[in-house]
Amino acid sequence: MQEYIINGLLIVVALLAVILQCIGARANSGMTKKQKVMLWRILAATVLLLGLQVLGAAAFDQLGAAGRWVRLACYLVDYAIIGYDILQKAWKGIRNGQVFDEHFLMAIATLGALALAIYENGDYLEAIAVMLFYQVGEWFQSYAVGKSRRNISDLMDIRPDYANIERDGKLEQVDPDEVEIGSIIVVQPGEKVPIDGIVTEGVSTLNTAALTGESLPRDAKAGDEIISGCVNMTGVLKIKTTKEFGESTVSKILDLVENASSRKSKSEDFISRFAKIYTPAVCYAALALAILPPLVRMFALGLDAGWETWVYRALTFLVASCPCALVISIPLSFFAGIGGASKAGVLVKGSNYLETLSQTKVVVFDKTGTLTQGVFEVNGIHHSEMENAKLVEYAALAESASSHPISKSLQKAYGKEIDRSRVSDIQEISGNGVIAKVDGHTVAAGNDKLMKRIGVDYINCHSVGTIIHMAIDGKYAGHIVISDVEKPTSKQAIRALKDAGVQKTVMLTGDAKQVADQVAQDLGVDQVYSQLLPADKVEKVEALLQEKPEKAKLAFVGDGINDAPVLGRADIGIAMGAMGSDAAIEAADVVLMDDDPMKISTAIKISRKCLRIVYQNIVVAIGIKLICLVLVALGFANMWLAVFADVGVMILAVLNAIRALFVKDL
Domain boundaries, the chain: 374-485
Residue 67 has pLDDT above 90, yes or no: no
pLDDT of residue 632: 82
The number of beta carbons lying within 10 Å of the beta carbon of residue 68 is: 15
**Distances, alpha carbon 344 to alpha carbons 574, 576, 619, 666, in Å:** 15, 14, 28, 10
Domain formed by 374-485, architecture: 3-Layer(aba) Sandwich (3.40)
Query: Do residues 51 and 84 make contact, with C-beta atoms less than 8 angstroms apart?
Result: no
Q: How far is CA 404 from the centre of its chain?
A: 35
Among 503, 519, 522, smallest CA distance to 511 is for 519
563-585 confidence digits (pLDDT tens): 777 887 888 988 887 655 565 56
pLDDT of residue 466: 78
Let me know the angle formed at the C-alpha of 125 by 121 and 129, rounded to the nearest 5 degrees. 150
Q: Which helix (H) or strand (E) holds 56?
A: helix 33-61
> Sorting pLDDT into bands at 50, 70 and 90, what band is 492?
very high
Please give the single-letter amino acid code of residue 317: F
**Mean per-residue pLDDT for 593-612?**
89
Give the Cα separation of 344 and 593 in Å (integer): 9
Which residues touch 108 (CB under 8 Å, ≥6 apart)? 90, 315, 318
pLDDT of residue 28: 47
Residue 497 has pLDDT above 90, yes or no: yes
Instruction: Classify 345 in phi/psi space as left (phi over 0), alpha (psi -120 to 50) or beta.
Output: left
From 78, 196, 366, 511, the catalytic residue = 366
Give the Cα separation of 291 and 391 in Å (integer): 98
> Sorting pLDDT into bands at 50, 70 and 90, what band is 432?
confident
Q: What percent of the chain has pLDDT over 70?
A: 82
State the pairing for strand pair 553-558/360-366.
Answer: parallel
pLDDT of residue 144: 61
Give the Cα separation of 99 and 111 in Å (integer): 16
pLDDT of residue 207: 76
**Mean per-residue pLDDT for 594-607?**
89
The number of beta carbons lying within 10 Å of the beta carbon of residue 655 is: 13
Across 365-398, b (16+ Cβ under 10 Å) vs e yields: bbbbbbbbbbebebebbeebeeeeeebbbbbbbb
pLDDT of residue 560: 61
Global pTM exceeds 0.85: no
**Mean per-residue pLDDT for 99-123?**
76
Q: What dihedral angle (degrees, nearest 10) is formed by the CA atoms of 191, 195, 198, 202?
A: -20
Mean pLDDT (the chain, rounded): 80
Q: Tell which wins on pLDDT, 206 or 260.
A: 206
> Of the segments 7-11, 72-76, 231-235, 637-641, which one has the largest average pLDDT value?
72-76
Let me know the angle formed at the C-alpha of 71 by 68 and 73, rounded to the nearest 5 degrees. 110
Rg (CA), the chain: 35
- Indicate the length of the chain as a whole number: 666
Q: What percent of the chain has pLDDT over 90?
A: 14
Please give the single-letter amino acid code of residue 164: N
The number of beta carbons lying within 10 Å of the beta carbon of residue 612 is: 15
> Sorting pLDDT into bands at 50, 70 and 90, what band is 4?
low
- The DSSP symbol for 202 reads -
Known catalytic residue at 366: yes
- The DSSP symbol for 369 reads I
438-464 confidence digits (pLDDT tens): 999 999 998 888 999 999 998 888 777
> Of the segments 60-64, 71-75, 107-111, 124-128, which one has the largest average pLDDT value?
71-75
pLDDT of residue 209: 61
Which range has the worst mean pLDDT, 117-131, 301-315, 404-418? Answer: 117-131
Q: Tell which wins on pLDDT, 504 or 388.
A: 504
- The DSSP symbol for 237 reads E
30-48 confidence digits (pLDDT tens): 567 777 888 888 888 888 8
**Mean per-residue pLDDT for 136-141?**
72
pLDDT of residue 27: 46
219-242 confidence digits (pLDDT tens): 888 888 888 878 888 888 999 998
Collapse the DSSP code of 162 into the 3-class scheme (helix H, G, I; strand E, B; otherwise coil) and give the result. coil
Residue 666 has pLDDT above 70, yes or no: no
What is the phi/psi pair of residue 463, to 5°? Answer: -75, 155
